[in-house]
Structure 1
Amino acid sequence: MTLGDITSPTTVLALFGLIVTAIMLVRGFSAAVFFGMIITSVTGIMTGLIPLPSQMISTPPSLAPTFGVAITELPNILQPEMFTVVFTVLFVNFFDATGTIIAVTKKAGFLKDDKLPRAKQALGSDATSSVIAAILGTSTTNSYIESASGVAAGARTGFASIITAVCLFLFLFLSPLLEVVTDAVTAPALIIVGVLMASSMGAITWDKMEYAIPAFVTIIAMPLTHSIANGLALGFIAYPILKIVKGDYKKVHPIMYLIIFIFIAYFIWLA
């Protein structure tokens, strides 16, 4: 990775959006990320960097071509050669969801003694949505790290998620309007989300290498491999090994040792 073209008009627009959003956050605007995206979009339209939508309303694409295909193809999916594929999808989805849920609930202050109350229900909800999405034939639905921006604005009870769901339903019919939400508009919001998440790193015990090294490996591997799951896998491999070296192997749950071999097999398969 190297420094990109910071003179590119779209890059300048993204930097403008980042600065505007940062100023509003510093000034205490609770919905700074949302208004930052609106200001960036309007600025992009006014400068000609973002074209106006071709239309306002459109009919959502039909689910007929994909609805229920996963069920009809189930016998083929259960073939032995598909087990690795199924495991990989399960692995990525589970750890993406786990990492996201832990990060967001940590930011919201829901963790108690580093444990998430009703974690079973949270993961169950995520898993159920993934199954329903597969039946509908859409892309996998799971928890998104962008929820951190809602938490930062004060969301705590889940009501904000209901409002988000209603807005998403409405935009099934207003999807042409989303043409103005380009990468230059979303990039500043995602950078701010990264800032919100980075605050959790202060809770890492950096003076103990058996914790610091796995944590750093996990953190740095996520952007370098473009995968939350890969970062978590490398961290899960490093942590038990370092605990064994230190002589604290009894403090590691036996399941962690099993996970080491599963993750190593996963990376060998990817290679």
Structure 2
Amino acid sequence: MQNTLQQGWLERYFGIHASGSTVPREVRAGLTTFLTMSYILFVNPQILSAAIPVPNAFAQLLTSTALAAAFGSLFMGLVAKYPFAQAPGMGLNAYFAFTVVLGQKIPWQTALGAVFVSGVLFVLLSVLGVRQVIVKAIPTSLKFAVTAGIGAFLAFIGLKNAGIVVANPATFVALGQLTSAPVLIALFGIVVTSVLMARRVIGAILIGIVASTLLAIVTRAPVYAGGANGALVPFGGFTNGVVSAPVWPTSLVGSLDISGAFGLGLLAVVFTFFFVDFFDATGTLTGLASRAGYLSEDGDLPRARRTFAADGLAAMFGAFMGTSTTTAYIESASGIEEGGRTGLTAVVVGVLFLLALLLTPLAGAVPAAATAPALVLVGAMMLSSLARIDWSDASTTIPVFLTLIVMPLTYNIANGVSFGVISYCAIKALGGEARKVHPLLYVVAALLLARYVWLSE
């Protein structure tokens, strides 16, 4: 009886049935999303600890990362009511650590202040409706291209994490060693998950992740980080138990220097944080919303102000906790593909990040090779949005292609959106169709060009 009443409350608050979902499906989707993005618990502290020299930096940053991800995901789920998880963003954390702090010799406290200020700008533009207007000004074809580009980006990340695609000094990328343990585990996961998806088995992606993880553990395949000089090692077991007490980030919480971020030399840093996350998060949220079926025909996103504001508030909270910009995660697409359609999915992700503070060893039992198949196959599903584009008009298809191809090849969603918008405006204007472009889009294109010319990273 109590379980029925609980599901009834969840149903009313999140509108689960109206969204074509169920409580078990939302929970499963949240678990899937968490598993595909839980790597950030270990990667983010590794990157930021190089620039934040505090005692026990890795452990403190792991707690800050988990809390930032939990807050961002819970806020997105409870307030915006969308299945979009948030966590400290990859790319921006490297920019924070290696370019701003180590490269420009800016104190890490001041850099955190810059992240906080950029978050304030996100919230202001969201509340004023500016972000929504910009999203609406972007043509439908480019929105479909963003969805497909994110799919290609996800697939590329998955192939890279699996070791199927590796770096090559002559050709930039090349085929990895197909007989290596990570590749074999990933290929196993791809086959298992693909078959389950083709047979429409509920929870196919989650089953694939669990099956790949179990195979890696049972076979003692060297697919886990932790070896000397970055070498992969077999699963070491839970030597200190599954439960571990978190280390509170005493040296990080509230250490941001907001006043220092307003210094003349820091304005470019603030703008870069703001610019990259603005278009990265806007593109991610738009692509995810399109995949989940929430975008209207004219490109409107219901509850847009709350959704975009949640992104900014997450960045502010993350900076206060001592981590780089927190933003929407493209890995949320894995949960959406599992059927997640409401904020309950994001709430589950947030709760799991909180539990991860106590169950870090358990979260570490899932190797990148096991989650890579989910990213590859979800990416493949997202490319279906290309079928909704009219390929007979070059003024549309060329910007679509640039959006699609630039995202994975530059490892950056914002770059893909930028190339798409700039090329769309230029081709339409020079081709005699200037009036078919929303005036605001020309302003956005000009700002994007200015950023690349004067504020290039």
TM-score, normalising length: structure 1: 0.94
Letter in 2 for 1:120: R
Q: What pairs with 1:259-270 in structure 2 (closer than 5 Å)?
A: 259-268=444-453, 269-270=455-456
What is residue 95 of structure 1 aligned with on the other side? Answer: 279
Aligned residue for 1:77?
261
**Residue type of the partner of 2:184?**
V
Q: What is the identity, as a one-letter code, of the residue corresponding to 1:203? A: R
Q: CA deviation digits over 1:75-117, x for unaligned, max 9?
A: 2111111111111111111112111111111111111113222
Q: Which amino acid aligns with 1:119?
A: A
Structure 1: distance between partners of 2:329 and 2:201: 23
Aligned length: 269
Match of residue 210, structure 2, among 38, 58, 61: 38
Which amino acid in the other structure matches residue 97 of structure 1? A
The CA distance in 1 between the partners of 2:436 and 2:367, in whole Å, is 48
C-alpha contact 1:54 1:176 (8 A) present in aligned 2:
no
Partner of 1:109: 293
Q: Which residue of 1 aligns with 2:128?
A: none
Asked whether the 8 Å contact 1:14–1:188 carries over to 2, the reply is: yes
Match of 1:65 among 223, 227, 251: 251
Q: Deviations over 1:33-73 (max 9, x none)?
A: 11111100000001101402333111223221111122xx1
Q: Give the alignment partner of residue 234 of structure 1, picking from 419, 443, 451.
A: 419
SS at match of 2:244: coil
> What is the SS of the residue equivalent to 1:142?
strand
Letter aligned with residue 253 of structure 2: F
SS at match of 1:96: helix
For residue 128 of structure 1, report the CA deviation from its aligned partner.
1.0
Measured in 1, the distance between the counterparts of 2:215 and 2:284 equals 32
C-alpha displacement of 1:188 = 0.7
Q: Deviation per CA, 1:126-170, whole angstroms, max 9, x where unpaired?
A: 111111111111242221122222222222121122122112211
Instruction: Compute the displacement of 1:26 (Å).
Output: 0.8
Q: How far apart are residue 265 of structure 1 and its match?
A: 2.4
> Is residue 148 of structure 1 aligned with residue 333 of structure 2?
yes
Question: Aligned partners of 1:156, 1:264: CA distance in 2, in Å?
Answer: 36
**Which of 261-270 and 20-29 deviates more?**
261-270
Q: Distance in 1 between matches of 2:246 and 2:373?
A: 28
Paired residue secondary structure (1:2): strand
Amino acid at match of 2:281: A
Separation of aligned partners in 2, 1:5 and 1:101: 35
The C-alpha deviation readout for 1:181-209, integer Å capped at 9, x for no partner, is 22211211111221122111222222111
Please say if residues 24 and 32 of structure 1, whose CA atoms lie closer than 8 Å, have aligned partners that are also in contact. Answer: yes
Q: What corresponds to 1:28 in structure 2? A: 200
User: In structure 1, how many angstroms separate the alpha carbons of the residues matched to 2:200 and 2:176?
Assistant: 31
For the aligned residue pairs, the C-alpha RMSD in angstroms reads: 1.5
**Structure 1: gaps (5+ residues):** none
**Are the equivalent residues in 2 in contact too, given 1:233–1:263 (CA < 8 A)?**
yes
1:10 aligns with 2:211: no
Task: Could you tell me which runs of 5 or more consecutive residues in structure 2 were left unpaired when the two chains were aligned.
Answer: 1-172, 222-233
In 2, the alpha carbon distance for the partners of 1:91 and 1:263 equals 9
CA distance in 2, matches of 1:266, 1:90: 11
| Maintained 8 Å contact 1:146/1:190 | yes
Query: Which residue does the alignment assign to 2:428?
Result: 243
Residue of structure 1 equivalent to 2:378: 193
Check the 8 A contact 1:97/1:142 in 2, yes or no.
yes
Q: Is the alpha carbon distance of 1:117 and 1:197 closer, same or farther for their aligned partners in structure 2, counting shifts above 3 Å?
A: same
Q: Residue 251 of structure 1: CA displacement?
A: 2.2
Question: Which whole-Å CA distance do the structure 2 matches of 1:103 and 1:16 have between them?
Answer: 28
TM-score by length of 2: 0.57
Counterpart Cα distance in 2 of 1:61 and 1:216? 46
- Aligned partners of 2:414 and 2:441: how far apart in 1? 16
Alpha-carbon distance in 1 for matches of 2:278, 2:201: 34
- Distance in 2, matches of 1:148 and 1:208, equals 29
Select the residue among 403, 411, 414 that pairs with 1:218: 403
Shift of 1:244: 0.4
Q: Read off the aligned partner of 2:255 and give its amino acid letter.
A: V
- The 3 A distance-change label for structure 1 pair 182 and 139 is farther
For 2:387, the equivalent position in structure 1 comes to 202
Counting aligned pairs with the same residue, the percent is: 37
Q: Which amino acid aligns with 2:278?
A: F
- Alpha-carbon contact 1:58-1:176 (below 8 Å) kept: yes
Q: Distance in 2 between matches of 1:60 and 1:118?
A: 35
